[in-house]
Structure 1
Amino acid sequence: MSKTATRDDRTLDRESGPAASPLVPPPKLRRRPALIVAALVAICLGALLAAWAWTATTNTQEVLVARDTIERGAVIQADDLARVRVSADPALQPVPASQFDQVVGQRAAYDVAAGAMLTPESFSQAVVPDADNSIVGVALTPAQAPGLDLATGDRVRVVVTPPEGAEMPEGVPQFSEATVAGVRTSSETGQLIVDLLVPHADAAVLAARAATGNVALVLDSRER
């Protein structure tokens, strides 16, 4: 009888053993607010960068630039120009690349540096100087030039002044009327070099006066 009881006890133990073992609850997932915030920030930054890239590419335009330096008065050749895509300020009024054929064959209105964008004022069909006019360069010290910056198209007078120690001759001072065609500063002397457009008949007289150094430049009204 004792052997039977033992077998029964073992049977009960095996059957009741698994049921008596405790159940392990599933692990709880921890929420990490910092990671969620970082993910949202990354998504927003990605959207902003995509919007910026789209805006940058859609606001660009293809314009004409000088491949090499184009000197004033030179005929613009096809090899002188290059097409580049830039995000240009509309206030600059660059020449669009679609006008390539219209620009080729024109003359440079002033020196265009290599890499500079062309504007409608960069070129013209007119030749400077034309057959009836000449260009005379006048070197001026700060005391001989106006205080205002000179610009192409300004109307000026080159007035003859007396040499140092001499008296001003009686009567109306002699002068030559001219139009400013260009302005630059000499890297050697530091003087202001003003290229003046004058009638062909007056060029020799103005050149002789300028050579003495006894001249002063007068800026006349800019009203048109």
Structure 2
Amino acid sequence: MADPPRADTLHPAPDAAPAPAAPVPVTPAPKLRRRPTLVAASVALVCLGALLAAWAWTATSSTTTVLAARVSVERGALITAGDLMTVQVSADPALHPVPAAEMPAVVGRRAAADITAGTLLSRDQVTDTLLPGAGESLVGIGLPAAGMPGEPLAAGDAVRVVSTPGAQGELGDAPPVEVAATVVAVAVDDITGLRIVTVAVPEADAAALAARAATGNVALVLDSRQR
């Protein structure tokens, strides 16, 4: 009788376990180098942006209460409380309106120029002096460029209106007539091109000066502005 088969032939022994794979080397992450200069610059930019945003918000949201004309006021008219109103405007250093708190000081004074309804009130639009004053008259004189000084005239300048030769150029034996005056305003006639100088003179001289100015035989002399 044949011997039974051996167990190792029926169930062969399993192959030996494979050797474990060698570990893959891991490259360490590169170390980041901190640059203090860049960090400081970034912080400065962030702070600057915050400051600019705060300034822009303040500039657009900051307002102040000022005076404006509720109705039109003619030059020389007394200003009443009913002529004025208060408005809110953005604070702008280029504007110089009268603060609303100064309304009591404005009421009762006169308009130095025509004030249009809805416009902001400025200090140079208000005056205590009404022109012409007591004992004075205003005379308008039309002058060519040759009859005026080369220096631009301004309100308040002390001038003399002097008679000039007639059509034939004769002066005669009489000395030139001159009248002391104060410049009130200067304008240009768009049609004739003449400079229209409005001057304040004593009432006693107004009629003679107006008659002489109508002939065109006058010139204007600017006296010293030093006071």
Q: TM-score w.r.t. structure 1 length?
A: 0.71
Q: Deviations over 1:139-170 (max 9, x none)?
A: 11110011111111111111111223231121
The count of residues paired between Structure 1 and Structure 2 equals: 212
The secondary structure found in structure 2 opposite 1:166 is: coil
- Between the aligned partners of 2:154 and 2:172, the Cα distance in structure 1 is 31
Residue 198 (structure 2) aligns with: 195
Q: 1:87 is matched with which residue?
A: 92
Identity %: 47
8 A contact 2:111–2:125 mirrored in 1: yes
Separation (CA, whole Å) in 2 of partners of 1:47 and 1:71: 49
Offset at 1:87? 2.5
Question: 2:13 is matched with which residue: 5, 27, 30?
Answer: 5
Question: 1:73 touches 1:110 (CA, 8 Å); kept in 2?
Answer: yes
Q: Equivalent of 1:217, from 215, 220, 224? A: 220
Kindly state the Cα deviation for residue 96 of structure 1 after the two structures are TM-superposed: 3.1
Counterpart contact for 2:70–2:85, Cα < 8 Å: yes
TM-aligned CA deviation for residue 171 of structure 1: 2.6
The alignment status of 1:181 with 2:184, answered yes or no, reads yes
Q: Secondary structure, in 3 states, of the residue corresponding to 1:5?
A: coil
CA deviations 1:2-39 (Å, max 9, x no partner) are 63632x85xx56xx87xx48468599489699xx7795
Q: Which residue identity lines up with residue 5 of structure 1 in the other structure?
A: A
Q: Using a 3 Å threshold, how does the CA distance of structure 1 residues 140 and 128 change in structure 2: closer, same or farther?
A: same
Q: Does the C-alpha gap of structure 1 residues 216 and 70 become closer, same or farther in structure 2, counting only changes over 3 Å?
A: farther
What is the aligned partner in structure 2 of residue 140 from structure 1? 143
Q: Deviations over 1:88-108 (max 9, x none)?
A: 26xx86533421332234222
Aligned 8 A contact 1:70 1:80 in 2: no
Q: Is 1:154 paired with 2:157?
A: yes
1:129 aligned to which of 121, 127, 132:
132
Secondary structure at 1:182 match in 2: strand
Higher relative helix content: 1
Contact 1:183 1:195 in 2 (8 A): yes
Following the alignment from structure 2 to structure 1, what is the Cα–Cα distance between the partners of residues 85 and 196?
A: 29
Q: 2:175 aligns with which of 172, 176, 179?
A: 172
Counterpart check, 1:118 vs 2:122: yes
Stretch of structure 1 that moved more, 160-169 or 138-147: 160-169
Equivalent residue, structure 1, for 2:111:
108
Offset at 1:202? 2.1
* Greater Cα offset, 23-32 or 79-88: 23-32
Q: Is the 8 A contact 2:62 2:90 kept in 1?
A: no
Cα contact 2:110–2:129 (8 A) shared by 1: yes
Root-mean-square deviation (CA), in Å?
A: 4.0
Query: AA paired with 2:122?
Result: L
Structure 2 residue runs without a partner (length 5+)? 1-7
Q: Deviations over 1:155-200 (max 9, x none)?
A: 1111111223231121321122211111122233222111111122
Unmatched tracts of structure 1, length 5 or more: none
- Structure 1 Cα separation of the partners of residues 91 and 43 of structure 2: 33
Contact 1:61 1:88 (8 Å CA) reproduced: no
Contact 1:63–1:85 under 8 Å retained in 2: no
- Does the CA contact (< 8 Å) of 1:61 and 1:87 recur in 2? no
